[in-house]
Amino acid sequence: MTTPDPDGLLAEQLLRLTRRVHRIQKRHLEHRELGITPAQSRLLRTLAHWGSPPRMADLAERLEVVPRAVTTLVDGLEASGKVRRVPDPANRRVIRIELTDDGRGALRELRAARRSAAEEILAPLSEDQRKALGGLLDTLIDGTPVQSC
């Protein structure tokens, strides 16, 4: 007789939750008809956290993808007017990527879609359960064990 693997069950639950979150966010994103893929959404969110326009290589490193993948994402976002390529003022051979006004507007819509998706996912939880989940998620994100009393 085999014993249940609690860690295996938790891993499976996390993977199933991740897939569910992705599906729900994608549906909320599609509902807003922004014409932005989840990967483009991630690039826009990443771009918004830079103080000045980054290079494509910087974006690729931050997103942990190959530079060619960033080029494809930027091409699509540039075609829709969400980002633009601008020359680096210190080195004209370097191209930087910056958000346009349309890109900033799309980011606001993306944030609203993510909030709506989160509300849908968290709806079954009470306020206390949400607080407990938040604490557990912080621990998992930080990788720091919880101190017992």
Among the ranges given (2-11, 22-31, 65-74, 137-146), the one the predictor scored with the smallest mean pLDDT: 2-11
Contact between 63 and 70 under an 8 Å Cβ cutoff? The reply is yes
Judged against a pLDDT cut of 60, whether residue 148 lies above it is answered with no
Q: Per-residue pLDDT tens for 19-42?
A: 998 889 888 888 878 888 888 999
Q: Per-residue pLDDT tens for 101-117?
A: 999 999 999 999 889 98
Report pTM. 0.75
Q: Three-state SS for 146? A: coil
Q: What is the mean pLDDT of the chain?
A: 89
| The two structure tokens encoding residue 136 | 């557990």
Q: Cα 56 vs. chain centroid, distance in angstroms? A: 18
